[in-house]
Amino acid sequence: MNSLKHESASRALLKEYIEAHKEIIDALPHPSFISDDEFNIAFFSSSMKRLFSNFDNPEKLKCCELFHPPCAAPRTCPLADMLKEGKKGNIEIYAPLPEKRLLVDASALIYKGEFIGALHCVTDISAIKKTEEDYEALIDVYAEAINEMKERELRARKGREAFFNMLEDLNESYGELEELFIKLISVMINSLDAKSPWTKGHSERVSQYAEQIAREMLIDSDEIKNIRLAGLLHDIGKIGTIDYLLDKPGRLTPEEFEIVKRHPAQGAAILREIKQLKDVIPFIEYHHEKIDGTGYPYRLKGDEIPVGARILHVADSYDSMTSDRPYRAAPGIEFALAELHRHRGRQFDPDVVEAFMRALSRQKTEFRV
């Protein structure tokens, strides 16, 4: 069993090695091929295929079946022993090709600490004077080719490392910019909330409530970021609202309420030129729309309202009902939860309300900052 596992692992490593290096091997100036640790042919370069174009499926043979005399016994590779010892070797071999004498230079392939096979480089020496010096020159040529291949691999590895380091630096820089962006938005929102003592901390709380609801609804992380950001910015349009309306001790007149109702559209208009917020703006613009179509500013209904806006509507309403206002004291948490439950399906999305209730129940807290 261990032997089978080892054989399987060796084959997997060889496949991985071939996939990573086949283009380089294919580009070598001489016919080349790779055999596995049992000397079965595993990969033929294009020039190798041309050299043996008259043979059917030469890649399905052992290298000894392709290159050594049929009478040879046993049918094994003469280079096997020296390669398995990690040595290099070359040998003039017989091949059933008319008027050709071939020289094979072979190197053991050690990959991730394992012997996985051999790389063979072949040349036709039919027209070369067979002297020891000629053979040594040929060996040097192939040694140089193999070294070049290794150098290319090293350069490629260094290039990959440099690329990944660059990506890491860019990711770190992006994270810092994103953090700075959020801090700038928080400063701007705190300045807005500071216009009225009644709204201090409102945007931060709505953002946190909305994030908790979105997580309970298993919304993906990028969308949660957008919802959290929309929570911070949902009242940005009130910058254009007359200050006394925010602190008015009594209820607003219908005319005054019409002015206040403009703030979702005004907020969207203020942020429209910031391309990084294009996915956030709809949540801000529609966060006062109601499921039954009686909300503002566009009287959207049901699925016409983005999920992020429906979440903000619940979070914003809950915080408003649990906070004091100049015209009334906070009705309280029990009242707020009862109102969310009573108006679900008309004013509020039932799924959002249920997610909010589950989050409250799980955390066993008043959900207040």
DSSP 199-258: STTHHHHHHHHHHHHHHHTT--HHHHHHHHHHHHHTTGGGGGS-HHHHS-SSPPPHHHHH
Looking at every residue in the chain, the average pLDDT score rounds to 75
Residue with tokens 């409250």: 360
Examine the domain organization and report whether 75 and 212 are in the same domain. Answer: no
Same domain (yes/no): 212, 307: yes
Q: Is residue 79 part of a domain?
A: yes
Sign of CA dihedral 70, 72, 78, 80: positive
Tell whether 184 is covered by a domain.
no
130, 209: one domain: no
pTM, two decimals, is: 0.51
Is residue 351 in a domain? yes
* pLDDT tens-digit map of 235-245: 888 776 655 55
The type of residue at 270 is: I
> What letter would DSSP give residue 105?
E
| Boundaries of domain holding 105 | 2-157
| Rama region for 107: left / alpha / beta (φ>0; ψ in -120 to 50; rest) | beta
The partner residues of 107 in beta bridges, in order of sequence, read 88, 119
225 and 355 in a common domain: yes
CATH of the domain at 6: 3.30.450.20
Residue 338 forms part of a structural domain? yes
When mean pLDDT is compared across 11-20, 277-286, 344-353, the lowest value belongs to: 11-20
In a domain, residue 78? The reply is yes
Tell me, yes or no, whether 351 and 208 share the same domain.
yes
- Please give the full DSSP string across 323-365, using - where no structure is assigned: S-BTTB----HHHHHHHHHHTBTTTB-HHHHHHHHHHHHHHTS
Q: Are residues 123 and 219 in the same domain?
A: no
Q: Are 311 and 210 in contact (CB under 8 A)?
A: yes
Examine the domain organization and report whether 34 and 104 are in the same domain.
yes
Instruction: Please tell me the distance from the alpha carbon of residue 324 to that of residue 322, in angstroms, as a whole number.
Output: 7
Domain count, the chain: 2
User: 147 and 255 share a domain?
Assistant: no
- Domain end residue (candidates: 109, 132, 157): 157
Residues 207, 353, single domain; the answer is yes
Residue 222 lies in a domain: yes
CA distance 339 to 223: 27
* CA–CA dist 227, 311 (Å, integer): 8
* 107 and 244 together in one domain: no
Asked if the structure places residue 304 within a domain, the reply is yes
> pLDDT tens digits, residue range 336-360?
899 999 999 999 999 999 999 998 8
Q: How far apart are CA 134 and CA 128, in angstroms?
A: 8
pLDDT digits (tens, 9 = 90+) for 185-230: 665 666 665 555 556 778 888 999 999 999 999 999 889 999 998 9
Distance CA 67, CA 61 (A): 10
Look at residue 156 in the predicted model and tell me its pLDDT. Answer: 65
In this structure, the answer to whether residues 137 and 223 fall within a common structural domain is no
Domain shared by 266 and 322, yes or no: yes
> What are 126-161's pLDDT values in tens digits?
655 444 555 455 555 555 666 666 676 666 666 666
Q: What are the catalytic residues?
A: 238
Query: CB under 8 Å to 2, separation ≥6 — which residues?
Result: none
